[in-house]
Every structure is written in structure tokens, then in C-alpha cells.
Amino acid sequence: MAPYATGTDTPHSIDAGETLNTNTSDITVVASTRAVVEDRLTAATIVISTITGKITSIFHSVLPASSFPAGTPYTDYSPHVLLPGLVDAHVHLNEPGRTEWEGFWTGTRAAAFGGVTTVVDMPLNAIPPTTTVAGLKEKIAAAEGQCWVDVGFYGGIVPGNVHELKPLVRGGVRGFKGFLIDSGVEEFPAVSSADIAAVFEELADEPTTVMFHAEMIPPISASVGDDVQWSLPPLEPSGPLDRYQTFLDSRPSSFETYAILEILSLAHLAPKLPLHVVHLSAIEAIPMIRQARANGVKITTETCFHYLSLAAEQIQEGDTRHKCCPPIREQANQDGLWQELLDRKDSIIKTVVSDHSPCTPNLKLLPSHLPGAEGGLKAGCSSDQGKGDFFSAWGGISSVGLGISILWTEAMRRSLPVDETIRNMAFWCCGNTAKQVGLEHRKGSLKVGMDGDVAVFDDEAKFEVQSNAMLFRNKCSPYQGKTLKGVVRDTWLRGFGGRDGDERWRCVLLGAGYKQQAVRGVYLYFERCGLMMHERLSHY
């Protein structure tokens, strides 16, 4: 049967037995019996121009290497799955200023390792934060020459920076983020309702998205978040500070629902402006967002790999690797998030991201018996005084590059259908995340004209998460020691990639021969963002 092609770029069609009339050095070819092409799981042969980095043809069958001119780089990955390169729309890279927490080199290398070909960097915890054009320029300068994958940047919303927002849009930021509760770092204060109103008015007609860390302390509350540790009755902690339940009790679902109601109450000020709730945890917020969407409010949410795979009941005393905000909730909440997510057509949760938010081991206050603790696991070497305090520990989970395996492992644990889950993962982590940040015309799907970004996913293989699978700077993650199903064998970024999977793993680990292939640079990418200034983000 003759394969057929999509798209119009050459080479675009082929008769059986013929070879393509193509300059050998200008294309590279990847194929598999299983690829996610425009939401279908199908056999595919994908031709990528090594000059433009774009996909020039897709044939819906596995063509043999002999179909292409001698010398054409060709890899048949069957039966592994070709996924679009993942777009992780929520990553904290922390450079400059807190590079010891994470940096462009380590963070993007960890991303590439896990099939992520685009990360979008959050506007905090670097110093300066990306709340001014000057801060954005510092970010770009710090990223230059260090990135293994494409990188985009968000801008930040803090009290008093309204005048910076339009210039930041012109500067290419992929959206904005603000906090309704203490962010944990002093240079990125929370905004008030009056600040949000001013932001909505300023950005009402801009081609951007405004996102919120949606936790807010209700006026009458039994908790004051992390400050609970110093509080007297009735706001005192409900139990020992190293007990996870005490921490969970201090950040109830009502923090999320109250914040979301506050955002929704102001949404009429900018009816055309897409709004987005980052890292939704509480299922109690789902009905109110569904209702708002039904009423025409342009609001979407994301959730994170950790809310879909970890549960409060499993978290051991003092295991602060699990601290993040909003918190990981009970198993029933996790089940509810999955249920919502799987309702693809109507789900308010459109994307799944990492919220990779690391810090140095000392700030995690991990007791010495837990992997990832400061100073390792040397018996009796350090005092555990003050360790395991969920309130004083830094909140954030490291997982960039592990996401697709986490999701797959959990989906298989839940006995979800294989083919549908593969398509769903591409939907949540590639297509929709690209859309969220206005890059859907070049990222997030395998289609002619898109960037040649491909994640080669071996859905049968397993690996144990240890240091050699955590390429981020600080090897401290709640996934350490867990066995995950699903291994990314290879990552292609705009037509540049490794050979077979094991070879690439070695390349990445050694940093050899991969850097110059992997990245044509954040700079090039960023220049192209400049071309997108007059495009309005689509909403979905």
C-alpha cells in the first residue's frame, strides 16, 4: 500500500519503490509503527529538515530507509512511540541569583533527558525576578549558550509593576503570573485585589495570559499558612510540625476556592483576556471554574504530575520532599483530578506540568535518613534537630524530565487504556501546553511545518529514579527510589537528536557531543518569539 503524506512541503509524496529526490544532507528521518500524529496513534515516517528544523513531511506508514537517498540519517524506533516533544509550561530555573537552586544548564538538560523540548520559566525565584524588562534581559543573558532545549519566559505581576507589563508583552513573555498568598521569596510579593484589577485593565486587550497561584487566606480562617507555626490559638498548628497532616490542615482547599472566587469576581474587567490557574490541587475548585467557563469566562487550569501521582496518606513523617503549595492532598482528591482530566472535552484542567521548583538540600530540612538529605546518608553525621519541619522547609518539588514517566506509571496503575492514554499525554503535555503559552503554531504536535521536536517513548521499559535519572542540579525529589514505567529513549529538538536511546543517555550524562546539537540557543528562539507579537493567544 502506498503511503500518503500530509502537508505540502517536499518531499511530500512517494510511490512504492521510488526514492525521494532530496538532498541527502538536508533531512533526517524518524519512523515508528506508533506515533501520535494529530491526535491519532498511527504508523508514521517523519521527515525533518535539518536546515529549518521543521517537519517537512509525514508519511502514515513506516517507510524503509531505502526510500530515501543513500546517506540520509534514518532511525526506525518501532515499537516505541513517537510523541511530540513535551512543552513543560511551568518550570523554575532560578538563574541568575539562585543558581545554586537550579540553572539553565542543569534544568534544561534534565528536561531534554525526559523528552521535554520546550520549558517556560516562571518569573520567580531568580534574582532579579522577571517583573521588569530589565529583569527579562538579565534572564535572557543568563540563559544564553546554556540551554539544551527551547526556553520561553513568563513575566511576573507584583504590586507596583503595572507599567512594566505591556513592555514585557512586547519583549516576548509567554504570559504573566501573580500570587495571592506569600510566594516564599521576598522579592516577589503577593498582589491585592486592587493590584489584580489594575493588571486586568492594563492587559485587557493584550495578546497574553494572566495566571495565578490561587491560594488566598480567607478573612476568617483557622490557619495562616506557613505562619501557623508561630501562631497562638485559634490559629495554632493542629499537630506536630513534622507531621504531613498538620501541614495539609494549614492549607485547606478553601485557600484555593477563595482565591479562585476572588479572581472570578474581577474577570469582568478583562473579558477577552485569557486567565489561568497554575497548579490546581483542590477538586473543590472544579465546579466553580466549570460554571465560570459556562458563563463565558476565559479561564483554564493546569495540574501537576505530583498531584496526579502522590497522596497525603503515603507521606511519611518529616519527608519534606513532598512539601509544595498548594499541598498534595488525599488519595480521593487525586482520584478526582484524574476523573476531571479524563473528561477531555469538558475538563477545566487542560494541561499537566511539572512545577519543577527546586532548592538547595539544606532548605528542604530533610532528616538525614531520607534520600536527598543534606550531607547524604552518612549515619550519625548530623543532628536532625529542626529537620522534617514541613512549615519551615522550602516548598517545591523537583521533577522536570520525569513527568511523562510519572504520568504513564500512574495511568497504568489505574489500568487506563494504553492507546488512549498515549494520545491523552500528548494532548495534556504537548499540544495544550504549547497552546497555553501561544506556541501552538510550532510546538506540541507532529505536523508538517512544526518544529521537528520528537520524544521517543518506550512505554514498556522501567527505571528506578536515582541520581543518574535526575539531571537537575539538586538530587532531591519525592520520586527518588521509585520505579517508573516508561522511558524516553531519545529526544529530538528541531531535527537534532541522538542515535539510539542508550547512546543518548550516555551523551546526556557525559554532556558529550550533545550540547551543540541540542540547542541552537535560547537566543534564536527568543528572536522568533519577537515575530509572534501580533498574534493573539488562542483560547480553548
By CB under 5 A, name the binding residues for Zn ion.
355, 357
25 C-beta neighbours (distance < 10 Å), count: 12
The nearest distance, CB 325 to Zn ion, in angstroms, is: 9
Nearest C-alpha neighbor of 90 from the set 478, 397, 406: 397
Q: With beta carbons less than 8 A apart as the criterion, state whether 397 and 90 touch.
A: no
The nearest distance, CB 122 to Zn ion, in angstroms, is: 5
Cis peptide bond prior to 274, omega within 30° of 0: no
Q: What are the phi and psi torsion angles at 207 (to 5°)?
A: -80, 70
Query: Which residue, 302 or 389, has its beta carbon nearer to Zn ion?
Result: 302
Query: Which residue, 215 or 355, has its beta carbon nearer to Zn ion?
Result: 355
Query: Which residue, 357 or 368, has its beta carbon nearer to Zn ion?
Result: 357
The nearest distance, CB 277 to Zn ion, in angstroms, is: 12
Q: Which three cell numbers stand for residue 485?
A: 514505567
Query: Which residue, 80 or 174, has its beta carbon nearer to Zn ion?
Result: 174
55 C-beta neighbours (distance < 10 Å), count: 28
What CA dihedral angle connects 406, 412, 415 and 420, to 10 degrees? 90
Query: Which residue, 301 or 357, has its beta carbon nearer to Zn ion?
Result: 357
The nearest distance, CB 306 to Zn ion, in angstroms, is: 11
Query: Which residue, 356 or 443, has its beta carbon nearer to Zn ion?
Result: 356
Query: Which residue, 355 or 458, has its beta carbon nearer to Zn ion?
Result: 355
The nearest distance, CB 212 to Zn ion, in angstroms, is: 11
The nearest distance, CB 134 to Zn ion, in angstroms, is: 22
Query: Which residue, 185 or 416, has its beta carbon nearer to Zn ion?
Result: 185
User: At 482, which amino acid appears?
Assistant: K
Which residue has the closest beta carbon to Zn ion?
355
The nearest distance, CB 279 to Zn ion, in angstroms, is: 6
Q: 142-147: long-range contacts at Cβ-Cβ below 8 A with a sequence spacing of 24 or more?
A: 142/95, 142/96, 142/104, 143/93, 143/95, 143/104, 143/522, 144/521, 144/522, 144/523, 145/521, 146/103, 146/104, 146/105, 146/108, 146/522, 147/104, 147/105, 147/108, 147/519, 147/521, 147/522
Q: What are the phi and psi torsion angles at 257 (to 5°)?
A: -65, -35
Q: What are the phi and psi torsion angles at 485 (to 5°)?
A: -100, 140
Cis peptide bond prior to 128, omega within 30° of 0: yes
The nearest distance, CB 48 to Zn ion, in angstroms, is: 32
Segments of 105-199 assigned E as strands: 116-121, 150-153, 155-157, 176-179
Query: Which residue, 340 or 355, has its beta carbon nearer to Zn ion?
Result: 355
533 C-beta neighbours (distance < 10 Å), count: 11
The nearest distance, CB 150 to Zn ion, in angstroms, is: 19
